[in-house]
Amino acid sequence: MSNHEQLPHYLPSRQLEQILQGALQEDVGTGDITSQILVPEYHQGWATLLMRESGVIAGLTVAQRVFHLVDPAIQCNWTVNDGDRVLADSIIGVVTGAMRSILTAERMALNLLQRMSGIATATAKMVASVRDYPVRIRDTRKTAPGLRLLDKWSVLLGGGTNHRIGLFDRILIKDNHIEVVGGLAESVQRASNQLPGYLIDVEARTMAEVTEALSVASMIDALLLDNMTTTRPDGSYDCSRLKQAVDCIAGRITTEATGGITLESAPFIAATGVNYISCGALTHSAHATDISLSVDPL
């Protein structure tokens, strides 16, 4: 099965290549001296990639780009596609070509495959945990520096949705902005006057701020209800403040629960009626999926 390259709109092909070139420069530098002295240039062979644990595979397109940047003659034959659910101990593909090139590209290709698959798998688990509710799972800007676009792409492949890509494409008024300006409504008014064509999201931490946000509801695209869920001593979740806020808003503004959300708490939060749940842990703390590469020289 070939992996058809379908990049998200925010990751043009040229930018993906720049990201990968920088990563390879960091890893390979002036050359893979170990492979150069031990593996003859003419030595051909293949390598099998194995998914050692179940999860959602993500990053095949990226891994293939890595191999081709190291050596355009390398052939990648995938048995699955990005976004597929894969069982443990499944072969996900075979790479053929010069052994020296395969060994040079191995670590970078695996690093990105493992990270992207881990994020996609974590996202898929959270999406599944709230499947009984009309809520969407969103990512945040809590991504690895330099890898944000790949991290966000992984969330998409796991069934989640992307929020803003960076500080430049959407206005998000957070607690510190409100403190500096001196009020939530004033912050929204100022942002709307300065950049009338931009979507405005606002973070609210209290019911007073929720009420204030409703006074400028027509200017707000989404209200982020921050840290309105607490964990009781017995480990259960108290979502009463969040539920109160959602009921008070009554559909006048799109709502998003944010702040410390976990796989375990997500279903309880979803039950409050919020439209979105955002989770920074999807990208800043995702477990790297165990994927191996085993060579078989001719």
Hey, which residues are catalytic here? 107, 142, 174, 203, 226
Where b means 16+ CB within 10 Å and e means fewer, 24-43 reads beeebeeebeebeeebeeee
Amino acid identity, position 296: D
Of the candidates 128, 7, 133, the residue with the CA atom closest to the CA atom of residue 59: 7
- Spatial contact of 118 and 288, defined as CB atoms under 8 Å apart: yes
> Tokens for 287?
């477990």
Q: How far apart are CA 123 and CA 146, in angstroms?
A: 20
Token look-up 């403190």 returns 179
221 and 199 in contact (C-beta within 8 Å)?
yes
Separation of alpha carbons 120 and 157, rounded Å: 6
- Helix runs in 162-265, H state only: 175-181, 184-194, 207-214, 240-249
Closest CA to 160 of 6, 280, 27, 11: 280
Angle between helices 99-129 and 13-28 (to 10 degrees): 120
Helix crossing, 99-129 with 148-157: angle to 10°? 60
Distance CA 111, CA 124 (A): 20
The label of the residue with tokens 């499944």 reads 90
Q: Report the C-alpha gap between 142 and 239 in whole angstroms.
A: 24
Nearest Cα to 209, choosing from 151, 158, 253, 170? Answer: 253
